[in-house]
Amino acid sequence: MATLMARDERERLARTAMDPHQPFSEVEREAVYRAIFERRDVRRNFLPTPIPDEVLARLLNAAHHAGSVGFMQPWDFVVVRARETKRAVKQLFDKTNKTAALRYKKPRAELYRSLKLEGIEESSVNLCVTCSRQRGGPHVLGRSTARDTDLYSTCCAIQNLWLAARAEGIGVGWVSILNHAALKQVLGVPRPVKVLAYLCLGYVSEFAAKPDLETAGWRIRLPVQELVHYEAWGNRMQESGRKKGCGSPKSIRERATQAKRG
């Protein structure tokens, strides 16, 4: 019975996906927010269970459906399963991480060295996400004044994959402590193509209740109220009518000009 109900739900969702005019159900909305709030940067607890090809295909397709500037779709994905390739990347990490550790002094240095910052060899699949910055030609709609929007677009693809992976029960960890020039040589990435992320994917025994760095005491999550400004920078209190500290459009422009000069 449970299998039949699950199949019926998948069929219903498939029909709904074909009709964007259909509103999300309450269960669907909750599922989206759950994936967002339970997403973790995973570096431990990977299981040896392989990721089936059809599941990986769903994740890559979710990534490919991210928004992109001028519909540029600048991303490519290098799927890594071979042990020898993972080992070569792990060696790159070890070398770069030793250098990174020297940036910190005690007691921060000791805490840094205690952190597990990758799951390269433990994870089932490694994924290198790249950005082809020349894709779409020299004139991409929406990119003339903000050249890095292709990089932002690729980050959107990564987030899509991350959230879809959480819904599939798959952990994802972003290994940022790598020399990308050396990584490109290991993976054969062409020179004009930019490496943006190296990800570790795999089923895990559990997802942490909090981000690892928060649990370890490296940093805490900032209150969102401190990061929201209303109408102009610095106005953090939303009130009815005129906002406290928010002047006329002219005064807003004056403050913006002063901030630029400062």
For the stretch 176-202, pLDDT in tens is: 999 999 999 999 999 999 999 999 999
Does residue 225 have a pLDDT over 70? yes
Do 261 and 248 share a domain, yes or no?
Answer: yes
Kindly state whether residues 54 and 174 are assigned to the same domain: yes
Give the range of the structural domain holding residue 116, as residue numbers without chain letter.
39-221
User: Domain total for the chain?
Assistant: 2
At residue 236, the pLDDT reads: 86
Is residue 143 located within the same domain as residue 256?
no
Predicted confidence at residue 255, as pLDDT, reads 45
Q: Is the pLDDT of residue 9 over 80?
A: no
Instruction: Please tell me the predicted confidence (pLDDT) of residue 238.
Output: 74
Q: What is the pTM of this model?
A: 0.83
| Separation of alpha carbons 73 and 115, rounded Å | 35
* Residue 183: other Cβ atoms inside 10 A: 20
Residue 19: the pLDDT is 80
Contact 80, 71 (CB under 8 A): no
* Least reliable range by pLDDT among 4-13, 33-42, 156-165, 217-226: 4-13
What residue has token string 């090809």?
Answer: 53
